[in-house]
Amino acid sequence: MNHIISFLKSSLQPLLISGVALAMLCVVGTPLSAQAQTSLYRQLEIGSTGSDVSVLQTFLAQQPNIYPQGLVTGYFGPLTKAAVMNFQARNNISAIGRVGPETLSIINAQVANGMIGGADVSAPIIGNLNATTNNNTATVTWNTNEPAHGVLYYSSTPFTMYEQGRGVIISGSTASSDSSLRYSQNITVSGLQRNTTYYYLAYATDALGNVNITWPTTFLTTY
């Protein structure tokens, strides 16, 4: 599916991942099923990531009046929330923008009736995310279940995130090993401040452009 959009970043409400939210979420690099998803198996909301979010987005994008942007990013942001609200209103569900039990059941029933296309929506699964630090450097490693290009995002302040195109725009600095697709990533950043907490996340893109990111988490440099 070729999605052509006109996107104004200023029109989006940014999603601010605060330190409080981080403490509550505690879901960093949690592996998902390695099988290609064709239905939803968990409740989804703002901030959710994974191949099941891609399935949700692909499903919603088949109805342009519900999801006109048609973005398949694997990240549940404000545009996806708005599309879910449109779907809920169309199906006489309370339009809260969260995929709860009732919405989950209706979507899966429609998917089972053949209302989703056969496009590859399987985002790379990120696992074994780990960071080691000293006083001014940090090395972050992770694995994916398929070859993927990896980028590390890091910042001394909480991230803001926006959906755009087939990916997610994230504030902060970035580092990557190279442009190769690989199963494992090992990225070192330098020039960090001593005894400072940094937010970081892993961003993986496979050969077909499917995207997955981890929840932001933190590391602390030493003295």
Verdict on whether the full-model pTM lies above 0.85: no
Q: How far apart are the C-alpha atoms of 199 and 185, rounded to whole Å?
A: 18
Q: What is the pLDDT of residues 80-93, one digit of tens each?
A: 999 999 999 988 88
What b/e string do you get for 42-57 counting C-beta neighbours within 10 Å, with b at 16 or more?
eebebbbbbbbbbbbb
Architecture of domain 126-220: Sandwich (2.60)
Q: What is the pLDDT of residues 48-90, one digit of tens each?
A: 998 889 889 988 988 888 998 888 888 999 999 999 999 999 8
Query: In whole angstroms, how large is the CA radius of gyration of the chain?
Result: 18
Query: Which residue, chain included where needed, has tokens 């080691």?
Result: 132
Extents of the domains making up the chain: 37-112, 126-220
Q: What is the pLDDT of residues 119-163, one digit of tens each?
A: 555 778 899 999 999 999 999 999 998 889 999 999 999 999 988
What's the CATH superfamily of 37-112? PGBD-like superfamily/PGBD (1.10.101.10)
14 burial type by CB count under 10 A (0-12 exposed, 13-18 middle, 19+ buried): middle
Beta bridge partners of 153: 174, 201
Sign of CA dihedral 177, 122, 62, 53: negative
